[in-house]
Structure 1
């Protein structure tokens, strides 16, 4: 079972994923941060502040690789964002989404429930890789919520509580 945790940046997704990993569950980290680090190390241009379309393509290809890698395990796997998030990023940037991405979003299906973190100003912070404002984070949340519903997923909002309680909420929702 492949389960997505999505939402705007800085809303606690990675902390939840890290907690689930500490609990012994299989997890897949957010590809965006790794792509940014890799592009910075190699002087690449596929960065969200240089080449948004290229950055989305990198996220898309990594999401397919991560999805296929998770297929090799019989376990429950939690994803810090999923393939549809690359589409959401393009929509957010008002860049046309290639038909291949829409088709892939129908082909590579995750668990029917997608867990989303609601904008939470008290925990939001910027850093070298997260340059969005809180207002942009809210817009990202809105785009992801709408997109996942459009793709036929049941979007479940994660309560704004302690990280361990948020992880427990997800586990309860999936019957674990």
Structure 2
């Protein structure tokens, strides 16, 4: 049986990472986000905000990392594999900052496809800025729309996850996946 690749995405501070962590604790297979690792690696090299200072380099590192995660997913024995962000997130963020990127970015997003996409909307009550999350809540709202449009432009149907407790959000995702696959 082929593993279903499920992306969970959303703007900064939407509860995405908490949701992924919960899914993992519940025994689901997950692939974790790598953005913070890329940011921290750049900060060790003296670049405070790599995405702002060199968005193409940052995005290339992310796309390479996410493509590697995609390929590693082929070895996963689970029926469902959750990804904390997918490759189209890279181009959506580039579109958000109005930066032109090489065609290979879009080609990669079109060639390697996920099965389902769940997008978490901005949620002001839980939004917090930190050292790696420099965006304001207003920017997070705009990013959300760029993410939705970005995935749709690659031909994906988007499932918007309602605001609620982590358990309610997980239930929505699992129920939706079951309806699609049955």
Q: CA deviation at 1:45?
A: 7.0
Rounded to whole Å, the distance in 2 between the matches of 1:167 and 1:42 is 38
Aligned pair partner of 1:87 in 91, 101, 107:
91
| DSSP 3-state at the match of 1:175 | helix
| DSSP 3-state at the match of 1:129 | coil
Q: Is the 8 A contact 2:43 2:49 kept in 1?
A: no
Aligned partner of 1:99 in structure 2 is: 103
Q: Is the 8 A contact 1:149 1:155 kept in 2?
A: yes
TM-score (norm 1): 0.94
| DSSP 3-state at the match of 1:123 | coil
Aligned pair partner of 2:71 in 58, 64, 68:
68
Q: Is the 8 A contact 2:30 2:83 kept in 1?
A: yes
Q: Which runs of 5+ in 1 are unaligned?
A: none
Aligned length: 175
Aligned partner of 1:24 in structure 2 is: 27
Provide Cα deviations, 1:65-111, integer angstroms capped at 9, x if missing partner: 01001111131211110001111111111111211111111111001
Aligned partner of 1:138 in structure 2 is: 141
| DSSP 3-state at the match of 1:122 | coil
Q: CA deviation at 1:15?
A: 0.6
Rounded to whole Å, the distance in 2 between the matches of 1:48 and 1:97 is 13
Q: Is the 8 A contact 2:122 2:141 kept in 1?
A: yes
Q: CA deviation at 1:160?
A: 0.4
Give me the CA root mean square deviation: 1.5
User: Which stretches of structure 1, 4 residues or longer, exceed 2 Å deviation after superposition?
Assistant: 41-46
Does residue 1:13 correspond to 2:7, yes or no?
no
Q: Is the 8 A contact 1:45 1:51 kept in 2?
A: no
Rounded to whole Å, the distance in 2 between the matches of 1:105 and 1:150 is 10
Q: Which runs of 5+ in 2 are unaligned?
A: none
